[in-house]
Amino acid sequence: MAKPDFWKNNKNYYDLKSYWRNLFGCNVHKLQIDAGFTCPNRDGHVATGGCIYCDGRGSKLRQQGILPSVAEQIINGKKYYAKQAVKYIAYFQTFTNTYAPVEKLRALYDEALVQEDVIGLSIGTRPDCLGPDVVELLGEYAKKYHIWVELGLQSAHDKTLQFINRGHNFQQFADAVNSLAGRGLNICVHIIIGLPGENNKDVLATAKTLADLPVNGIKIHSLLALEGTILGAMYKKGTISMITKEKYVSLAADVLEILPPEMVIQRLTADGYRDIFLAPDWAMNKLDVLNSINKELERRNSYQGKNYGTTL
Ligand code: SF4
């Protein structure tokens, strides 16, 4: 098997930019939206304190004060790309963007979709915030628009999910994926490499599990220790260590080899957090990490999907 022609890119994996260019024939950008949601893993509905790596601050806009409306955020975001002929995906990013009654969700999503050149939504959420009425609503949108549902998972291992205080288990995630599947929705899953207590085999098992589910995209990043988080405190106390760049690059390449060639790689590094960043220092150089992963795949004469379907 060779690197697939349908990617039409010069990378060793199928990146989001190429996927959207192939699908829509133009550049497509995500516009980040903070619609004022909270998270049940922070407000006591599921748990308090949140995931141990989560800083709980929300977007920069939220930190600055009163949030502009969804429409205003889109209009402002589009100015940034004004010189490029593009379409947009409204990315409901901050906290849990299905954590409200469906009528409120419908109003917020509609506010985004009526904006000029917005062709779809990307909705970040948790597996335990996708009740039947929400799934039904998302399926309705998928008949007319390009819709991604981004599910935080981080690891397919319950012992890890418990340690990082995700507030849900793997089965809840799998149930959510199965309820979303078959409705024309695109499912993107977030995973972290370098979680405490996980070895290489655990990471690859998570990738293999996702490769076998109806998942269309993935976001991967290394564990980050941030000031003000439980994990950050553990790092400062020396009770956990952070993954090295070499190990991350090698494992990210291993994961890409296992995933299906059609799965869209939405992210391979973490963004932002410069003001509260503790470790690992190499993770702040995003370009270097991306180049290193691509080079590692080249060194192996390999690419995303090369080991898809093989037994671990
Ligand atoms: S689910 Fe997301 S927003 Fe909620 S605590 Fe975890 S990382 Fe933070």
Residue 294 has pLDDT above 90, yes or no: yes
Mean pLDDT over 28-55 rounds to: 96
The residue type of 52 is: I
Residue 271 has pLDDT above 80, yes or no: no
Taking the centre of ligand 1 as the mean of its atom positions, its distance from the CA of residue 199, in whole angstroms, is 23
Q: What's the token pair of residue 180?
A: 């979303």
Q: What is the pLDDT of residue 181?
A: 98
Identify which of 34, 39, 125, 195 to mutate to test ligand 1's pocket (most ligand atoms within 8 A of the CB).
Answer: 39
Identify which of 34, 37, 41 to mutate to test ligand 1's pocket (most ligand atoms within 8 A of the CB).
Answer: 41
Mean pLDDT over 126-132 rounds to: 98
Alpha-carbon distance of 187 to 7, in angstroms, equals 19
> Which atom of ligand 1 lies at the shortest distance from residue 53's CA?
7
Helices 132-142/170-180 angle, 10° precision: 40
When pLDDT is cut at 50, 70 and 90, the band that residue 147 belongs to is very high
Q: What's the token pair of residue 185?
A: 């929705």
Alpha-carbon distance of 20 to 229, in angstroms, equals 35
Q: Pick one of 2.40.320.10, 3.20.20.70, 3.90.180.10, 3.30.450.20 as the CATH number of 5-299.
A: 3.20.20.70
Q: Indicate which residue's Cα is closest to atom 6 of ligand 1.
A: 51
Alpha-carbon distance of 111 to 129, in angstroms, equals 21
When pLDDT is cut at 50, 70 and 90, the band that residue 52 belongs to is very high
Alpha-carbon distance of 174 to 181, in angstroms, equals 10
Pocket of ligand 1 (CB under 6 A): 39, 41-42, 50-51, 54, 95, 126, 152
Mean pLDDT over 239-259 rounds to: 98
Mean pLDDT over 123-152 rounds to: 98
Cβ-count burial of 302 within 10 angstroms (0-12 exposed, 13-18 middle, 19+ buried)? middle
Residue with tokens 């994990």: 231
Mean pLDDT over 190-204 rounds to: 98
Cα 300 → chain centroid: 26
Mean pLDDT over 39-54 rounds to: 95
> Which atom of ligand 1 lies at the shortest distance from residue 49's CA?
5
Taking the centre of ligand 1 as the mean of its atom positions, its distance from the CA of residue 95, in whole angstroms, is 6
The residue type of 245 is: K
Identify which of 126, 189, 221, 229 to mutate to test ligand 1's pocket (most ligand atoms within 8 A of the CB).
Answer: 126
When pLDDT is cut at 50, 70 and 90, the band that residue 84 belongs to is confident
Domain boundaries, the chain: 5-299
Q: What is the pLDDT of residue 85?
A: 67
Residue 107 has pLDDT above 80, yes or no: yes
Say what the pTM is: 0.97
Q: Indicate which residue's Cα is closest to atom 2 of ligand 1.
A: 95
Residue 82 has pLDDT above 80, yes or no: no
Q: Indicate which residue's Cα is closest to atom 7 of ligand 1.
A: 54
CB-based contact 118:28 (threshold 8 Å): no
Concatenated DSSP letters for 37-87? ---TTTBSSS-BS-STT------HHHHHSSPPPHHHHHHHHHHHTTTS-EE
Lowest mean pLDDT among 78-92, 100-114, 196-210: 78-92
